[in-house]
Amino acid sequence: MRVLSRLSCCLAALLLTACGGKPGDAQLVVYTARAEHLIQPLLLRYTEETGIPIRFVTDKAGPLLARLAAEGEATQADVLITVDAGNLWQAAQQDLLQAIDSPILEANVPAHLRDPEDRWFGLSLRARTIIHSTERVDPEELNTYAGLADDRWRGRLCLRTSKEVYNQSLVATMIASGGETETETLVRGWVDNLAAPPFASDTQVIEAIAAGQCDLGLVNSYYLGRLQRQQPDLPVALFWPDQAAGERGVHVNVSGAGVTRHSPRPEAARAFIEWLSAGEAQRLFASLNLEYPVNPEVAPAPLVAAWGEFRADDINLSTAGELQAAAVRLMDRAGYH
């Protein structure tokens, strides 16, 4: 039994040593759904430049919002960073963010990439676009997102699951521009064209196209960038749809940030988000994940720039949040799983 008592002592010691360590006032606390390796280099640099230490926790957006809601006024968090406009919209909707009055952010972030009420600001831009086999698809055959529902692609299309928020945002903005009925017909057309059941990730979609399981699909551009770093001669290429006059343009989404409703240090939080929106920080924020900077003054990484220029859809991204639930229901009805 000596073992047992020794073990209980260990347990008690463990619990006690783990206590303490309250964050002081001279620092920031960040809750981030953007993965650690994409955000930590920026946090370190900010601390280097300003002397302000930053603590952060990572989690998925859903649990982070639930955590903020449960903590209420007692929260230590100052800044919420998350991917996808739908999540940002939802955070604002649940009154977890406060409005930021910042001329700097208004100048750096284009109007359609931020909340109309200034509760969140996009910081990097991701384009969800068509990817196709360079061996089996002539880019001349491609035109729009809607075109993927065309009969000629029967048994040739690969899609990621509709559980992925990027697809939900895409369909939400399609509802906004084309209406619900038309979008549902179109999504049914996509489902009819599938060569394989929907995949769990964009990377799998690209690999399936490269392997010949299907000929084209929809992905966020940075997933191709990552694969190209390892295998530069993958037989696939991006195509920018909906570029003709009167068409909607390429669907873009953001990862972005806001100041929490009960932030203990809202001024410092605002300054940090402002810092992220310009100059070297803005370049790094986007290029760490091969995304596009939101600030038009900042150039994207060379690998990203090599994919060519495109005209992006300029619908305000809060629409993606407002219509996300409608998009999910629509995809359920259309049998897009």
Q: Which residues contact other proteins (rule: CB under 8 A)?
A: 1, 4, 7-8, 10-11, 14-15, 18-23, 29, 33, 35-38, 55, 57-63, 66-67, 70-72, 74, 90, 93, 161, 163, 165, 168, 196-204, 207-208, 210-213, 223, 226, 289, 324-325, 328-329, 332-333, 337
Name residue 133's beta-bridge partners: 236
Closest approach of other proteins to the CB of residue 229, in Å: 12
Q: Which residues pair with 254 in a beta bridge?
A: 125
First to last CA, the chain: 55
- Residue 80: enclosing H or E segment and its boundaries? strand 79-83
Residue 35 or 306 with smaller CB distance to other proteins: 35
Task: Determine the 3-state secondary structure of 263 from DSSP.
Answer: coil
Which of residues 100 and 334 has its CB atom nearest to other proteins in the complex? 334
Give the separation between CA 50 and CA 58, rounded to whole angstroms. Answer: 23
Who's near 153: CB < 8 A, 6+ residues apart? 193, 215, 216
314 or 332, CB closer to other proteins?
332
Please report how close the Cβ of residue 271 comes to other proteins at its closest, in angstroms. Answer: 21
d(CA 334, CA 153): 18
> What's the min distance (Å) between Cβ of 39 and other proteins?
10
The nearer residue to other proteins, 1 or 245, going by C-beta atoms, is: 1
CB closer to other proteins, 7 vs 107? 7
- Smallest separation, CB 208 to other proteins (Å): 5
Q: How far is the CB of 333 from other proteins (least distance, A)?
A: 6
Three-state SS at 324: helix
**Contact predicate 317/122, CB 8 Å:** yes
